[in-house]
Amino acid sequence: MTSPASPAPRTLLFIGDSITDCGRREDPQELGHGYVRLLAEHFAAHEPTATVINRGIGGDKVADLEARFGTDCLDHAPHMVTIYVGVNDAWHRFTRGEHISDESFEQGYRHLLEQLAATVPGAPVLMIVPFVADIDGQAAQIHSDLDGKVAIIRSLAQEHGHRIVDLEQMLAMALAAGHTAHSIAEDGVHPTPPGHRLIADAWLDAAGR
């Protein structure tokens, strides 16, 4: 009896802001302690030939991803790419007075997708829809800016035929199951450990387990 052939090794790359970063730059394995680590553990068990790369940097907006996309993403020739960006493009309007227009956001995000299409045309792309948990009025006001950018992400995903990881839907289901906004993201933005687990599960559902 012949042994089944091992799958071709894949590189799965995650790029984004602090929710992806989650301490990865202080982690010897560079995975951090959030949803990317949970997914790396999943692949270590179910697809041990796969390599998971975390290239999240806290505070990043879409323009920051644009600036480092070649070095931190394309140069790795990934077989699958996950982009998680958008919260800071809205949140920093209220915390730092930095207004990123929807037009600028769309132009930057579209540029990321165009580079992927040109460099790794066969690689699946998962676009994570960011969420804000309404822990208080200050967090809730972020929606006034973020909702337009979420609509852009959804539109770009449909236009390019990419899958979305719908964290707005994830949050709604979590609240219906008995979670509170605080138990998903204590500050409304950064997920708790259960929040990261739910993100990892939503990613697996979108990617096809």
Domains annotated on the chain, with CATH: 11-207 (3.40.50.1110)
The pTM for the full model equals: 0.95
Distance (Å, whole) CA 176 – CA 126: 25
Backbone angles phi, psi at 128, to 5 degrees: -85, 125
Provide the pLDDT for residue 95: 87
Q: Which residues of the chain have pLDDT under 70?
A: 1-3, 209
Distance (Å, whole) CA 72 – CA 54: 9
DSSP-derived 3-state class of residue 3: coil
Provide the pLDDT for residue 158: 97
Widest pairwise Cα distance in the chain: 66
Provide the pLDDT for residue 178: 98
